[in-house]
Amino acid sequence: MRPFITLAVALLVAGSAHAAPSMDPHDICNDYYLFAERVMQGRQVGYPLPDMLSHVEGQQGQPHLEEIIVWAYDEPRYETREFRLEAVSEFANEVMRDCLRTKRAASRAQ
């Protein structure tokens, strides 16, 4: 996992603690997984970056969500369906894995 994705997930998780303190960490991380999955799906089919960014305007956590979008667009766009599916899965899994690790570390620090 690249350090910038880890940082973004840490920031998203930290922000979510303030937004929904009673929300289960797995639910929060699953939300990040789904977001990352959708972003990379759009990236892989050629959805324009400005259009993708416009979807998070005005949302809570917008700067962090924008970072995940930009990082997804740093990844290559693949031609075959098989490679596209793999890119989507890998990206979403990395985001969720780091989210869960960050949540565990935060709960140990309390």
Rounded to the nearest integer, the mean pLDDT of the chain is 83
- How far apart are alpha carbons 66 and 8 in whole angstroms? 10
pTM of this prediction exceeds 0.95: no
Residue identified by tokens 């369906």 is: 81
What residue spans define the domains of the chain? 3-18+25-109
Q: What would the pLDDT profile of 19-56 be if each residue is shown by its tens digit?
A: 455 567 678 889 889 999 999 999 999 999 999 999 99
User: Which band of pLDDT confidence, cut at 50, 70 and 90, is reported for residue 66?
Assistant: very high
